[in-house]
Chains A and B, each alone.
Chain A
Amino acid sequence: MDQFAVKVFVRLRPSVLDPAGEATKSASIKLGAEGIKSLRIGKMIEVKIEGNGEDEVRKKIDLLCDRLFANIVIEDYEYSLEKL
């Protein structure tokens, strides 16, 4: 069995208003930061997982992302995977 460290990023889809991102953008501008064009907030989920090779682990992570980590009605996801 191989062990992998997976980082899953879940974000609201671009078409979905992100009020928390908008509020944080507004605060960032008040702080004096210049040039912020957009700011959106997502989640990062770290998973350590075992499996027989990368393909098997990707299948497991895809299932988790599609059915639990993200609500694909409103969110997109992507992930990176590193063999430990």
Chain B
Amino acid sequence: MDNFTVGVVVFPGSNCDRDVSWALEGCLDIRTKYLWHESSDLSDVDAIVLPGGFSYGDYLRCGAIARFSPLINALDEFVKSGKRVLGICNGFQILTESGFLPGALVANKNLNFICDDVELDIISSKGGWFNNVDEKQTIKLPIAHGEGRYHCDSDTLKKLVDNELIALRYRNNPNGSSFDIAGITNEKGNVLGLMPHPERACDETIGGTDGLFTLKSLILK
């Protein structure tokens, strides 16, 4: 995997791009490359992370405007080719707004911005994102969001359950998400969106390493 390169997308307002790059390069020795949102050339990256933050200031709705960036337009072919895309927090919001994942993220039930560590049950390892996290069934990751309440209609929820597309569920649902959902994948499993921040849990000195495997899974074929 010497030449494997993960593209970390930078939108105006991204603020976790450097964290993701630090975690991948510093903790996992995986090469990264920042991709400006106006770029549509994805030919020299092997996987992509849409990081957390407030793309375009979250104007209109979270992720609504980022959806129209040239890079997101180019993502369709990238995803269809089976390459892996990870959307974290605002990245998850962008993936739902752009239709790569179903549902939507809305304001937390209690209106608080929640910054905390949460326990998560691994529900599905579709796509291999959570395989062998030291064989844990439950992991602990940080969350930091004001609009992280996952919402979808009952038909979509049934589809998510039936097709094992729910990757993570909150143990103590902090934001009112439908069915305690914290992260989902697409049907193929190569796109994962989640509200918790794995890149903030990659070193014991900052509170844990449960995020490492998810980021390492970017290099899976």
How many A-B pairs fall under 8 Å by CB? Answer: 34
The verdict on A17 contacting chain B, using a C-beta distance below 8 Å, is yes
> A73 at the A/B interface (Cβ < 8 Å)?
yes
A12 on the interface (CB 8 Å rule)? yes
With known contacts A17-B176, A69-B60, A74–B106 Cβ distance under 8 A: yes
Q: In the complex, what residues of A have CB within 8 A of residue B107's CB?
A: 19-20
CB distance from B61 to the nearest CB of A (A): 6
Contacts A16-B151, A17-B176 given; does A71 touch B64 at CB 8 Å: yes
A23 close to B (CB within 8 Å) = yes
By a CB distance below 8 angstroms, the chain B residues around A19 are 107-111, 176
List of B residues within 8 angstroms of A73 by Cβ:
96, 102-104, 151-153
Q: How many chain A residues touch B (Cβ–Cβ < 8 Å)? A: 11
Residue among A12, A19, A23, A69 facing the most chain B CB atoms (10 A cut-off): A19
List 19 A-B residue pairs with CB atoms under 8 Å apart, sorted by A's residue number. Answer: A12-B106, A16-B106, A17-B106, A17-B109, A17-B149, A17-B176, A19-B108, A19-B109, A19-B176, A20-B107, A68-B64, A69-B60, A71-B104, A73-B102, A73-B103, A73-B104, A73-B151, A73-B152, A73-B153
Q: Which residues of A approach B to under 8 Å, CB–CB?
A: 12, 16-17, 19-20, 23, 68-69, 71, 73-74
